Structure 1
C-alpha cells in the first residue's frame, strides 16, 4: 500500500484545498469527533499530516500521526518543523503500531479501503484496537459499499471513481484526482458493510455506527445546496464510528 503513496506527498497535501475536502469531508469528520480537548489521538494513515494538524488545532492533547510511507511523513515532518504544533510522527504499519498507546481516539481517513485482503483488513482493525484505551473510539472513512458505478459521478468535486460490476469484497476501486494542477490515481479495495463490521467486532469493538458526510454551512454559502446534492445522493465515502464499549443508553424519562 505505501508504495503508491511514496511520491504523492505534495499532491496529496494539495487535495486538502479541494472544496469537497475542506467544506464537506473535514467538517463532517470533526463534527462527528466532537470535543477533542484533552484527548490523546492517533491519526493512522496520516499521510502528509493534514488531519493530524487539524486534530491538534482542535484541542487534542497528545497527537501522533502514523503512516507506513516515509515519503508522506517527510512532508508531515517538514510542516511540523515550521509550525511547531507539538505533533509526533512515526513510520509504522497500522496493523502493527507497537507500544504507542493507549489513546482515547484513533482517526483513520481512507485507511481501511487499502486492505489488500480480508485477512489484512482484520489485521488493521486489530492493530487499531490494540492501541485504544478501554473507553476508546475509532472514527474512520471507508468507501461507500454502494458508491456510484458512473465514473464521472463525482467529477464536479474534483475526482472520479472507477468501480466495476459485479461489486464483491475485494473488488478494485480506482480514484483519480483531477483538480487544478493536481492529477494522480490510486487504487483501493471495496468491502461490504457486513465485512467491515465483522472485522471490527472480531477486533474487539463493541459498537459500530455509520454516518454520512454533509456540506458545511460555509460550503453551502459558497457553492449552493444544489452543488452538493449529487454527492449527498450517492456519496463515495461514509463515516464509521466504532467504540470499544457499547453506546451509552439514554435515561428513560418517566411520564
Structure 2
C-alpha cells in the first residue's frame, strides 16, 4: 500500500471516510501532503507522494522484474452498509493504492 500518485485533493477529499487532506503541494516528481486522521484523539501525518514513474523506477532499481498497480476495492459488506454512491468519491480519487512487485 502506498500513496496514490494520481490523488488530487482538488477533485474530492476523504473527510467522510475518516481523514482530511489539508495540504498538497506539487514537487517536481510528485507532491508533499499533510493529512489529518479523524481518530480520538485526531492526529496529523505528513508525507510525500511520488509520481508513478518514480515508483516504477524505484522498484526496477530494487531488482524487481514485474510490478502491478492495484486500485482499492470496497468490501461487499461496506457497500451494503453505506451504498455504492457513498463510496464513489473514494473510488474516483483514492488516496491509497496497492503496488505489488515480484522477481
TM-score, normalised via structure 1 length: 0.38
Query: Structure 1 residues 151 and 160, CA, compared in 2 at 3 Å: closer, same or farther?
Result: farther
Match of 2:37 among 152, 169, 177: 177
**Structure 2: how far apart are the matches of 1:198 and 1:226?**
36
Greater per-residue helix proportion: 1
Q: Which residue does 1:208 correspond to in 2?
A: 67
Q: Is the 8 A contact 2:30 2:48 kept in 1?
A: yes
Q: Which runs of 5+ in 2 are unaligned?
A: none
1:201 to partner: Cα distance: 0.7
Kindly report the root-mean-square deviation, in angstroms, between the aligned alpha carbons of the 2 structures.
1.8
SS at match of 2:38: strand
Cα deviation 1:233-254 (Å, max 9, x = unaligned): 111111101111xxxxxxxxxx
Q: Which residue does 1:150 correspond to in 2?
A: 10
1:163 counterpart = 2:15? no
Q: Is the 8 A contact 1:168 1:190 kept in 2?
A: no
Stretches of 4+ moved more than 6 A in 1?
A: none
1:229 counterpart = 2:50? no
Question: Which structure carries more relative contact order (alpha carbon 8 Å, separation 6+)?
Answer: 2
Q: Which residue does 1:186 correspond to in 2?
A: 45
Cα deviation 1:2-53 (Å, max 9, x = unaligned): xxxxxxxxxxxxxxxxxxxxxxxxxxxxxxxxxxxxxxxxxxxxxxxxxxxx
Greater per-residue strand proportion: 2
**Structure 2: how far apart are the matches of 1:202 and 1:163?**
27
1:144 to partner: Cα distance: 0.9
**Structure 1: how far apart are the matches of 2:11 and 2:46?**
14
Cα deviation 1:167-218 (Å, max 9, x = unaligned): 4326311121014x23000111121111111111111100011010011011
How many residue pairs end up in the alignment? 102
TM-score, normalised via structure 2 length: 0.88
